[in-house]
Structure 1
Amino acid sequence: MYPFRFKMILIIFFLLFTGIVVRLFQLQIIESDKYKGISKTRRLTSYALDSIRGSIVDRHGNVLAVDHHTFDITVQYKNLLYCAITYKNKTISRIPEMEVHKKTKKSCKECHEKQDVWLKKLSQLLNIQPEKLLEGTNQIIERVEKLKQNIEKKYGRAVRIKEETDFYPVAANVAWEKVIQIEINQDNFPGTRITPKPKRIYPEQELAAHILGYMSNLNEDEWKVHSNNWNNFILASSSAGDDTSSLLYDGYAKNDTVGRAGVESQYEEELRGLRGKRFEEIICKNTQIEKTVLERPSIPGNTLYLTLDSQIQAHAEKSLGKNLGAIVVMNPGTGEILAMASNPRFNPNTIDKDFSKLIRRPSKPFLNRAVQGALPPGSIFKIITATAALSSNSITTQTPFECPGYTKYKNIVFRCWSDYGHGLVTLEDAIPYSCNVFFFETAKMLGGDTLYAWAKKFGIGEKTGIDLPHEKSGNLPKTATTASVMNVAIGQGALLTTPLQLVRAYAVIANGGTLVQPHLLLKITNSRGETVRSFQSENTQKLQIPPAIISTLRMALQDVVTRGTAKDKGLDIYKVAGKTGTAETGRHKDNHAWFVGYAPYDNPQYCFAILVEHTSGHGGDIAGPIATELMSYLFPEMNPAS
């Protein structure tokens, strides 16, 4: 019984195997010419599907940057080529040499009578002259023909390249109503295709422009770098067993837009998404699309939630006005940046047409002064000098120095800002009245090494590590002489800081001794709204400052507002503690005016820095009123006018 079953199974397998062999013989030998003909007349072509770039929103979800769909009209290469020859008298060297052209006596218009239909119809629909629609065709044709020529030279025979089957743009940002008319009357527009294209929109115009950055096209060298990076990513993914491959997704294309400056650049990888691919079968003879074989949809970019409060940002920019300078508002406990204003600004929506004009302006509108403007801090630095002196026991809170308006070191005269001097002062008066002589004398006792070490602890001379590109570290000089230490002690000399560094330093006093990590990232979510990443601090340090010293400094900073250099500016109403600073530039009546502080002094919620560059006034007179304007928004319940 079993041998019989075994024989039947062998017979069945033999018959199946014979059938397969016979069918293969039929396909590959008998009907080979048929399928060779089909393979020669049909090809697979692919093109990328643009992804939607992720949105950028503030901490409350208010949209600051978003991709909107726009529509381009693209035309197949053969149609562009024909119209360029007939309408613009474009000469293509290879065409007269083609056999089909040598044998016919017909003109181009007689042979290809329908290949200019799209041009006439589109010109009427969009109310654009045909010459305007064909404006960029010369560059396209020259590029494709040169590529075709090089490839044919390499292989020694005529070939059809992929670029000959592609579609190329002739009209951009076409109105939706026009797009509908083209779609429902496709027969009237042969060889055309509606191509959706994302466009980056910044709804709030210039608001937070330096934080957001802007978009621009890749140049040739950048595209090569991105292409290499993408290829390496594909290889790494394949070796790791991931399903992401070049067959499914596409990297950057030539002339793709990428983030420039700001978080658009910093978080390019998270925002850009993955471009999909569509594979189509085409008939080679007329390059008509037969069918879509495979389509892999693009993956939208992630949404970036910033720590920014767009309302505080707007008020900070309003408070700064037309002054050249910056304002930073930060949570002193967490390092979250709530506002970062820099003036002058730019509009990222119009960067394409404005860039060449803006880049030449001496006011440097692309410079983010909050993180890239390294300037002498003036008297703002005195709080660090005081911390270093008290912590090292170089002085006590009761150490007095006489200020007659100047002091001498060897043959050098160091002057106080007050010509009449401040008399006998201790630290508790020296900070509120910003007595230079007190800190000159303190510097003699403190020494350069100790001052340098404590300034480093406060983050001076180093990048804060904020998630923005091109941050400046400033300059913290290692002082070789007592005279240079005296200059640095009052925030002058070779010392350079950024507004963000000073906000971070004063946050140490506000929060009780912690050097926080300033940051703009709150979280990143995917297209389903799931959080894929939240900010994790990597650079928070606890400074060993005795609580008694912090208490002394806090009281002195409070006195700056109530009885010192920021008196009668309206800041006491909002319980502000802070320090004014006037940094000399070396030119007559040209200063940088500072005010850095926190509020309210009994429970700090905000730490801030205000800088106005190149002004004839002093810190209290110039930056003080701006601080008051800012506080009126942050604490409306304390505003006496409300």
Structure 2
Amino acid sequence: MKEQKGKKQKSYISIRLNIMFLCIFLLFSAIIMQLGKVQIVEGEAYKNQVESSQNAITSIPVPRGQILDREGKTVVNNKSLRTITYTRVKGITSEDILKTAKDLAKVLEMPEQDINKLTDIDKKDFWMQLNSKRAETKITKKDIEKFKEKGIEGKELDKKIEDLRRGRVTEVELAELTAQDLKVLAIKSKMGSGYQLTPQIIKKDVTDEEYARISENLANFPGVDATVDWERNYVNGNLFRSVLGNITSSEEGLPKENLDSYLVRGYNRNDRVGKSYIEQRYEDVLHGTKEEVKNITDKSGNIVSTEIISKGKSGNSLTLTIDMELQKKVEESIEKNLRAFKSSEPLLDRAFVVMTNPNNGQILSMAGKKIVEKEGKIEFEDLALGNMTTSYELGSAVKGATLLTGYETGAIHPGDQFYDAPMKFKGTQAKKSWNVSGFGNINDLRALQVSSNVYMFQTALKIAGVNYVPNGSLDIKQGAFDTMRYYFKQFGLGVPTGIDLPNEIIGQTRKVDSQPGFLLDFSIGQYDTYTPLQLAQYVSTIANGGYRMQPQIVQEIREQSIKEEVGKVIRSIEPVVLNRIDMKKEHIDRIKEGFRWVFQEGDGTGVKYFKNVPYKPAGKTGTAQTVYGGDDPIGRNAKGERMECYNLTLVGYAPYDNPEVAFSVVVPWLHDDKNGINSIIGKEVLDVYFDLKQQRIYGESTSTGSFKQN
């Protein structure tokens, strides 16, 4: 009995064990199947979900490169600003943003301009968000049925309803929004702009208290960060300001016209980029490489940590060819003389100066000023760009090109003489020099020295293959114009100078060449128009012996400076010879000697200003009869016709036997052609150039006649 009972008990235990093992087997099988489902069936989906939450890459802007002058002095740098930003993550709701905006509004004061930017649509949408139940009552079932009857459904229906609801928010209801509400809205608008995982600036230049309260309580402001941003700082105020250019704000972001070009290069839509002149032209150099970080987010989309993927690098720096100390003195000279002459010259409103190194094309100074009268007071706008974006008849300053054209075509030869007396042609007024009685027999050097028009007229006729017959008619073919323009263009007159800046013009090449007398006007600089920069390139080409150099505004690209140390040179911008003029060296030297006579010998038209200066310059004065080309009604007579006036110009270089600086001066629209403003400015800027050179070498002034700003 006992044995049978024991056997039954063992059998019972065995069955129970088998059942238990079966249950365990089934349980593990279920677990394995579930793991298989997770790993094999749903694994890819989970993997994508994890990666999408953890591998969100964000680009962080870096400071823009600096701009230095040729002496290494800072022209443009970056000002650090304590900044509050917000980064919108995936899955964030409008209510989440509103809550954070309300919390921020308790700490931040927003600039008035941000409040003023809010539109009625912004305010109505915000009112509806704050008053959702009241907003719902503005749409009836009947309104919805009307839309549906027109076949409007889905998203289009939602939009129609929303537009209708917004349109029914009244001015009285908008007035319910308090000043605090508007501040919240301004913050919320900034938080909602831009793109996911791209930091949006809420406020720059926050106060110490604002920065501290937010940075110490970031856990209470999801997505908010207290950081340091930058804004461009133009160290010298308005000095050379228009040429330096501007950058976009983060609100402007990338220019629409170049959007695709920037996006394919890795820019974000709200990046700040150069939008004009130097800042735009050298964007790729100045912009730098953004830092990339990986935001680690939790399942709710909150950023829990960040990991640096690649460190950013600040933009590289530019070293300009401009000497900002010289630039300042040149601008002061222009302003001083415009102010001094304005009372006697009602049409006068601008003047230009370009100074270059004729041997390499580097621009040392490019200055322009325009008078703006406000409430009876004279103020000045920077018009430096006018040196390359405006053109004028430049008068006798271009006579060197006329004579060289005559030499090279064989029309005249060095030393040839013509009798300077008024020239009379059938059906026209006499053509004569400024000395109405004439200069008698003169050669080419004397013609330059006293600025003889008649000598240039005779040269132009010879180029055209025409002999002068008193009271006779002229028969000049188009080919004569083409020939003279061909040679003028070799100096840069009437063609792009090649400057590394946008928007340069080439002047006006007049098309009405059918009247023979126009060739005579062309020969003395009173027909086609040229820019002050073209004029500087022309005289530089003569000064250096016949090489037309490309004007340069940047001489080096450097690594960003560390503390006070200048960064090392990455690239030097080498001089570029655009062309060698088709003219013999002895012919160029002949013109250079004539230019020396103008400034240093006898009754040369520039002797009064330049004879006794120690730096021994050479050059050519210029006067062009023209008509007023501005917009001021004062420049028109009672019939609405433009008034006649003069453009005064000057070109030169120094020292005459080893030129290191060349210059052009252009002062348009004067009544008095003998007031000398062109020569006064020309002497002052040369004085300053050599004075600064002396100070830098020896620590003392040359005392060549430096001037004081009134």
TM-score (norm 1): 0.75
CA 1:96–1:295 in structure 2 vs 1: closer, same or farther (change >3 Å)?
farther
Residue number in structure 1 paired with 2:489? 456
Task: Kindly provide the CA deviation profile for residues 275-294 of structure 1, in whole angstroms up to 9, marking residues without a partner as x.
Answer: 23322122353x43222144
Q: Report the CA distance between 1:548 and its aligned residue.
A: 2.5
2:273 to 252, 258, 262: 258
Alignment map for 1:365-384 (pairs within 5 Å):
365=382, 368-384=385-401
Alignment map for 1:176-575 (pairs within 5 Å):
178-186=210-218, 192-217=224-249, 223=255, 226-230=258-262, 232-233=264-265, 250-254=266-270, 256-285=271-300, 287-321=301-335, 323=338, 324-344=350-370, 365=382, 368-404=385-421, 406-413=422-429, 414-447=431-464, 448=480, 449-477=482-510, 479-493=513-527, 495-527=528-560, 529-562=567-600, 563-570=603-610, 572-573=612-613, 574-575=615-616
Task: Quote the Cα distance in structure 1 between the aligned partners of 2:250 and 2:518.
Answer: 47
Give SS of 1:71's match. Answer: strand
The farther-off stretch of 78-87 and 475-484 is 78-87
2:625 is the counterpart of 1:584: yes
Give SS of 2:322's match. Answer: coil
| Runs of 5+ consecutive residues of structure 2 not aligned to the other structure | 1-31, 89-93, 106-122, 135-178, 339-349, 465-479, 562-566, 629-642, 695-701
Task: Quote the Cα distance in structure 1 between the aligned partners of 2:77 and 2:334.
Answer: 27
Task: Kindly provide the CA deviation profile for residues 395-442 of structure 1, in whole angstroms up to 9, marking residues without a partner as x.
Answer: 2333333333x3123322223323333233222221111111221122
Residue number in structure 1 paired with 2:184? 134
Task: Kindly provide the CA deviation profile for residues 288-320 of structure 1, in whole angstroms up to 9, marking residues without a partner as x.
Answer: 322214443322211111111122211211121
**Matched residue type, 1:384:** A
Task: Kindly provide the CA deviation profile for residues 570-628 of structure 1, in whole angstroms up to 9, marking residues without a partner as x.
Answer: 45413121111112222545222111110111211100011112222337711101111
Task: Quote the Cα distance in structure 2 between the aligned partners of 1:585 and 1:135.
Answer: 58
Task: Quote the Cα distance in structure 2 between the aligned partners of 1:544 and 1:34.
Answer: 74
Q: Residues 595 and 620 of structure 1 are in contact (CA less than 8 Å); yes or no, is this contact kept in structure 2? A: no
CA 1:92–1:279 in structure 2 vs 1: closer, same or farther (change >3 Å)?
farther
Task: Quote the Cα distance in structure 1 between the aligned partners of 2:41 and 2:57.
Answer: 32
Q: Residues 281 and 290 of structure 1 are in contact (CA less than 8 Å); yes or no, is this contact kept in structure 2? A: yes
Q: Residues 248 and 254 of structure 2 are in contact (CA less than 8 Å); yes or no, is this contact kept in structure 1? A: no
Task: Quote the Cα distance in structure 2 between the aligned partners of 1:34 and 1:422.
Answer: 97
Task: Quote the Cα distance in structure 2 between the aligned partners of 1:473 and 1:33.
Answer: 63
Q: Residues 190 and 202 of structure 2 are in contact (CA less than 8 Å); yes or no, is this contact kept in structure 1? A: no
Q: Residues 97 and 188 of structure 2 are in contact (CA less than 8 Å); yes or no, is this contact kept in structure 1? A: no
**Matched residue type, 1:90:** W
Give SS of 2:400's match. Answer: helix
Give SS of 1:278's match. Answer: strand
2:85 to 74, 80, 84: 74
The number of residues matched between the two structures is 541
Task: Quote the Cα distance in structure 1 between the aligned partners of 2:392 and 2:39.
Answer: 79
Q: Residues 54 and 294 of structure 2 are in contact (CA less than 8 Å); yes or no, is this contact kept in structure 1? A: no
2:655 to 597, 600, 616: 600
Task: Kindly provide the CA deviation profile for residues 470-516 of structure 1, in whole angstroms up to 9, marking residues without a partner as x.
Answer: 111113457455312111000012x1111111111111221112111
RMSD: 3.9
Task: Quote the Cα distance in structure 2 between the aligned partners of 1:78 and 1:166.
Answer: 20
Task: Quote the Cα distance in structure 2 between the aligned partners of 1:132 and 1:74.
Answer: 19
Task: Quote the Cα distance in structure 2 between the aligned partners of 1:430 and 1:420.
Answer: 15
Give SS of 1:428's match. Answer: helix
2:703 is the counterpart of 1:639: yes
Residue number in structure 2 paired with 1:247? none
**Matched residue type, 2:407:** L
The farther-off stretch of 71-80 and 264-273 is 71-80
**Which of the two has higher C-alpha Rg?**
2
Q: Report the CA distance between 1:640 and its aligned residue.
A: 4.8
The farther-off stretch of 438-447 and 78-87 is 78-87
2:685 is the counterpart of 1:630: yes
Task: Quote the Cα distance in structure 2 between the aligned partners of 1:342 and 1:373.
Answer: 11
Give SS of 2:358's match. Answer: coil
Task: Quote the Cα distance in structure 2 between the aligned partners of 1:264 and 1:283.
Answer: 41
CA 1:134–1:548 in structure 2 vs 1: closer, same or farther (change >3 Å)?
same
Task: Kindly provide the CA deviation profile for residues 11-65 of structure 1, in whole angstroms up to 9, marking residues without a partner as x.
Answer: xxxxxxxxxx999638527998997999599565443301211111112211111
Residue number in structure 2 paired with 1:236? none
**Matched residue type, 1:532:** I
Task: Quote the Cα distance in structure 1 between the aligned partners of 2:328 and 2:128.
Answer: 56
Q: Residues 296 and 304 of structure 2 are in contact (CA less than 8 Å); yes or no, is this contact kept in structure 1? A: yes
Task: Kindly provide the CA deviation profile for residues 117-140 of structure 1, in whole angstroms up to 9, marking residues without a partner as x.
Answer: xxxxxxxxxxxx745643524645
Task: Quote the Cα distance in structure 1 between the aligned partners of 2:371 and 2:661.
Answer: 24
Residue number in structure 1 paired with 2:164? none
Q: Residues 352 and 384 of structure 2 are in contact (CA less than 8 Å); yes or no, is this contact kept in structure 1? A: no
Residue number in structure 2 paired with 1:6? none
Task: Kindly provide the CA deviation profile for residues 67-86 of structure 1, in whole angstroms up to 9, marking residues without a partner as x.
Answer: 22222213467554237789
Give SS of 1:612's match. Answer: strand
Task: Quote the Cα distance in structure 1 between the aligned partners of 2:392 and 2:671.
Answer: 16
Q: Report the CA distance between 1:370 and its aligned residue.
A: 1.3
CA 1:278–1:381 in structure 2 vs 1: closer, same or farther (change >3 Å)?
same
**Matched residue type, 2:433:** C
**Matched residue type, 1:341:** A
Give SS of 1:257's match. Answer: coil
Identity of paired residues, percent? 27
Q: Residues 227 and 252 of structure 1 are in contact (CA less than 8 Å); yes or no, is this contact kept in structure 2? A: no
Q: Residues 367 and 373 of structure 1 are in contact (CA less than 8 Å); yes or no, is this contact kept in structure 2? A: no
**Matched residue type, 2:606:** A
**Matched residue type, 1:609:** S
Task: Quote the Cα distance in structure 2 between the aligned partners of 1:22 and 1:366.
Answer: 79
The farther-off stretch of 83-92 and 258-267 is 83-92
Alignment map for 1:155-194 (pairs within 5 Å):
163=196, 168-175=200-207, 178-186=210-218, 192-194=224-226
